[in-house]
Structure 1
Amino acid sequence: MAGHNLLLDELYEKDIQQLIRLSESVGWDYDESEIRTIMISGLVYGHKTMAGEIVSCAAIIPYGDNLASLGMVIVHPNYRRLGLGKEVTIRCIQSVPRSVPIMLIATPEGKPMYERLGFKSVDSIQKYLCDSYHPPRNTDVIDYSFAPYHPSHLPGIIKLDQSACGANRKKFLSVRVQQAKQAITVQNREGDIVGYAFSIQGTVNLIIGPVVAPNYKVASHLLHKLAIANESRLRIDIPKEQGEFGSILVERGFQMVSSPPIMLLNGDDLPARDRTLFGIAAQVFG
């Protein structure tokens, strides 16, 4: 550990309140339920002072053997320029095999550091916020049925999500659905699950995602069902390729506020996806 007298180690449930305060120190809004989901789904590392104060953190979430997501990289403003961000990121990278591609969604501040570590930009997402949701004037008639989540739906959701995201996210989804304010599934005439969406109530925003659907019209129905009865500001992050869905968001009162890059280490491309992902879970989960 060069240039400082701090301990880098794995963080646990007892550290959640400190992690919330660390998040607040940089203007982010991680809350207890979000951090708990991250810890159950993956690993969190961070630097502590000799007095036990957490001054940095980062999380790595493995999805089976062919993808991991890195995020929640935070350094307290009073401890910057000590190389803590690089060190905690490297610890996350070292926690998974070198054969596993690691993805992250970069902030402008973090992108140069990730590039120095070997990450390359391979795509981008689009972040949308909405302070006043506008319901659609006309609703397209679609040949699908929508139902509240039931535990019996989980195997179908996991299978569908794997095709949409290119990785098995069973552990994460099993936890995330319990955290969800609302969870909805879509079924075809044969009763097969062909779509799903969750909403997560954060301290500032109602986060809509993941959203997986056979097409943008079905995705817009899922969006409406999750957004219509809520008073919180809405947030959804969508893959850049889903331009038609982005146009729907603008019609519904959303505004695109940023388009951060998706970066990848240990690979040239993200795992193959079937273009049914219309909203990511959150930037830390990819």
Structure 2
Amino acid sequence: MAVSDQVLPSGVAARELSESDLAAAMALSQEAGWNQTAADWRLFLELGHVVGLTRSSGALIATAATLPHGGGFGWISMVLVTASERRRGLARWLLRRCMDDLIAKKLVPVLDATPAGRMVYLGLGFNDCWAMRRAVAQQVRSSSQRGAQEGATIRPIAEEDWSAIIALDTDVFGADRSRLLRRLAARLPAAALVAERHGRVVGFLLGRDGRTMNQLGPLAAGDESVAGALLSHALHTISAPLAIDLPDRHSRLGEWLSTLGFKIERPLTRMVYGRSHAFDDTARLFAIAGPELG
């Protein structure tokens, strides 16, 4: 284990962050050009934990977040280091801290990695599970809606739909994250959609507003036609720019999105610590909530 995994540089201290640190955390993610809003940071403060590194002056210079789930795993994300403090082992120390915290709770660490981050995580014991790509559209070209012809009725989520949505998401994602889903539904109401076929919920879509663009996901559906119908409905009402993190296995859906003006921005890899298979079912997972949320 490298020294930076266990010892912080002189003058740097770690502590758990709270609501009073929100502005400083936002400044870090904005400096990095990330899409998070204050509402995203509150998700981690309320549903998970955020550890920060500070200078003796009290200035926040780095963060990392964990989001525990009930399915035997927990998420690691929001690993940020201010530009002037990089290449000093701070990010690696934070990663080790998050891993140790989750493992102590008997949760398997999971994360979504950029190509640069992936090389670091491989050295820490994470394994590749599956790949995805972020598709971004600055403007969305018009297209015919794909609802009626696919035999699915697309409509806004109603309160009575939640039990079926949570059951589907738990089966697809691998854990009950109902508190997170309900918060997302309030973030971008026009994206909070359900697909119904013969009176049964067969898919759902959520989204959230972002600092620089809206994000669509998670999207879970029984098949590609339902997923396409949900996306088609949302794309007619939600303003661009838009981002969708789409598993590579759903290439036909990606090809359709490209005809609407979406372009691949970057690849991502879902990685799990100490095992080679993920907890989720990518056959029915058509878009993730974002690399920071899973």
TM-score over 0.5 (shorter chain): yes
Aligned identity (percent) is 25
Q: How far off is 1:137 after superposition?
A: 4.2
* 1:38 Cα deviation after fit: 2.5
Aligned length: 285
The reply to whether residue 165 of structure 1 matches residue 166 of structure 2 is: no
2:187 equivalent to 1:179: yes
Matches of 2:131 and 2:258, distance apart in 1: 18
| Structure-1 separation of matches of 2:8 and 2:266 | 35
Q: 1:21 aligns with which of 20, 27, 36?
A: 27
For 2:127, give the aligned amino acid. K
- Structure 1 residues without counterparts, runs of 5 or longer: none
- Judged with a 3 Å threshold, the aligned counterparts in structure 2 of structure 1 residues 144 and 116 are, in CA distance, closer, same or farther, namely same
Higher mean C-alpha displacement, 146-155 vs 78-87 = 146-155
Q: Is the 8 A contact 1:157 1:196 kept in 2?
A: yes
- Of 149-158 and 68-77, more deviation after overlay is shown by 149-158
8 A Cα contact 2:128 2:276, kept in partner: no
Change in 2 beyond 3 A, CA 1:257/1:3: same
Secondary structure of 1:72 counterpart: strand
Matches within 5 A, 1:53-68: 53-68=59-74
Task: Select 1:106's aligned residue among 109, 113, 128.
Answer: 113
- Equivalent AA in structure 2 for residue 129 of structure 1: V
Shift of 1:68: 1.4
Note the C-alpha offset of 1:252: 1.6
Asked whether the 8 Å contact 2:145–2:229 carries over to 1, the reply is no
Over residues 2-23 of structure 1, what are the superposed CA-to-partner deviations in whole Å (9 max), with x where a residue is unaligned?
A: 3231111111111111111011
Cα distance, 1:129–1:274 mapped onto 2, change above 3 Å: closer
Cα deviation for residue 138 of structure 1 reads 6.7
Tell me if the contact between 1:198 and 1:211 (Cα under 8 Å) persists in the aligned partners. yes
SS of equivalent residue, structure 2 residue 222 = coil
140-149 or 75-84, which deviates more: 140-149
Instruction: Pick one of 69, 74, 82 that aligns with 2:80.
Output: 74
List alignment gaps of at least 5 residues for structure 2: 1-6
Deviation of the 1:268 alpha carbon = 2.1
Aligned match of 1:199? 207
Find the partner of 2:135 among 128, 144, 151: 128
More helix by share: 2
Residues 8 and 88, structure 1, Cα contact 8 Å, conserved in 2: no
Q: Distance in 2 between matches of 1:86 and 1:55?
A: 14
- Counterpart-to-counterpart distance in 1, 2:45 and 2:240: 26
Deviation readout 1:247-285 (Å, 9 max, x if unpaired): 111122111122122211032210252611111001111
Structure 2 distance, partners of 1:103, 1:28, is 20
1:31 aligns with 2:31: no
* Structure 1 segment 1-286 matched on structure 2, within 5 A: 1-97=7-103, 99-137=106-144, 139=146, 141-182=149-190, 183-189=192-198, 191-273=199-281, 275-286=283-294
C-alpha distance in 1 between matches for 2:270 and 2:210:
23
CA distance in 2: counterparts of 1:274 and 1:26, whole angstroms? 29
Structure-2 change in CA distance of 1:49 and 1:212 (3 Å) = same
Q: Give me the TM-score of the superposition, normalised by structure 1.
A: 0.93
Note if contact 2:271-2:278 (Cα within 8 Å) is conserved in structure 1. Answer: no
**Alpha-carbon deviation of 1:97?**
3.1
| SS class of match (1:55) | strand
3-state secondary structure, aligned to 1:220: helix
